[in-house]
Amino acid sequence: MTRIEPLSRAELAEFEPFFQIVEQGMGFVPTSLFAMGRRPELLRAFAGLSGTILGPSRLEPELKSLVSFVASRAAGCSYCQAHTGHTARRNGASPEKIASSFEYETSPLFDPRERAALRLAHHAALVPNEATNAHFEDLRRHFDDETILEIVAVIALFGYLNRWNDTLATTLEDAPTAFAAETLGEAGWEPGKHA
């Protein structure tokens, strides 16, 4: 059960254009945004930052979603795992690829470029952070510095969201819950405190 009751979408009418963009990309508006709306200045700032990081970029949407999924899984946030896995599917990743994304080192579904990005996502999301110079040397074989910064920005954004949602025990929405139960259930995913 959520620890801070979110506002309703109707109570946050000034954010409706942002909510529509989010809904178009995700298929729903996350409950976490309605809780953030209790502090409108926080939701405004988050909308700008997340729109910049998750919007069009050099990094293709499928890989960006998988980076956010692996970072969220490394951090242990069931809420964000369900969201990012669901979004990865909407961005073209197969259910098999999503379910085996934590096996990026050995799964034939991942190429060296994807492995480099997911390796950083995994190690940078741990506490304490385990990113090394070797991770960046590997990344530079596949990405320019601007794209590497995009990868780091995605990891950092989900670090914030992982802490936000796990701390508040944000209630998980129906669509990502159904996706995660079906696709990630065999890998041990459970909604836990987000049910």
Tens digit of pLDDT for each residue in 127-151?
999 999 999 999 999 999 999 999 9
Find the CATH number of the domain harbouring 116.
1.20.1290.10
Low-confidence residues in the chain, pLDDT < 70 = none
Tell whether 46 is covered by a domain: no
- Kindly report the pTM of this predicted structure: 0.96
Q: Of the candidates 174, 159, 108, which has an alpha carbon nearest to the alpha carbon of residue 129? A: 159
Radius of gyration, CA atoms only, the chain = 16
Q: Report in angstroms the alpha-carbon separations of 21 from 8, 67, 169.
A: 17, 21, 24
* Residue whose entry in the numeric block shows the structure tokens 């040397």: 137
Alpha helices in 4-111 (DSSP H): 16-26, 31-36, 40-54, 61-75, 78-90, 95-99
> How is residue 163 written in tokens?
């802490």
Identify the helix (H) or strand (E) that includes residue 176: helix 174-183
Q: Of the candidates 130, 122, 142, which has an alpha carbon nearest to the alpha carbon of residue 59? A: 142
Tell whether 19 is covered by a domain: no
> How is residue 85 written in tokens?
């896995």
Identify the helix (H) or strand (E) that includes residue 152: helix 145-168
Tell whether 1 is covered by a domain: no
Question: Any residues with CB less than 8 A from the CB of 133 and at least 6 apart, and which?
Answer: none
> How is residue 123 written in tokens?
């190690």
Amino acid letter for position 129:
N
Tell whether 42 is covered by a domain: no
Q: How many domains does the chain have?
A: 1
Tell whether 117 is covered by a domain: yes
Indicate the burial class of 91 (C-beta count within 10 angstroms; 0-12, 13-18, 19 or more).
Answer: middle
What per-residue confidence (pLDDT) applies to 1?
82
- Owning domain of residue 76: 59-194
What per-residue confidence (pLDDT) applies to 187?
80
Q: How far apart are CA 137 and CA 132, in angstroms?
A: 9
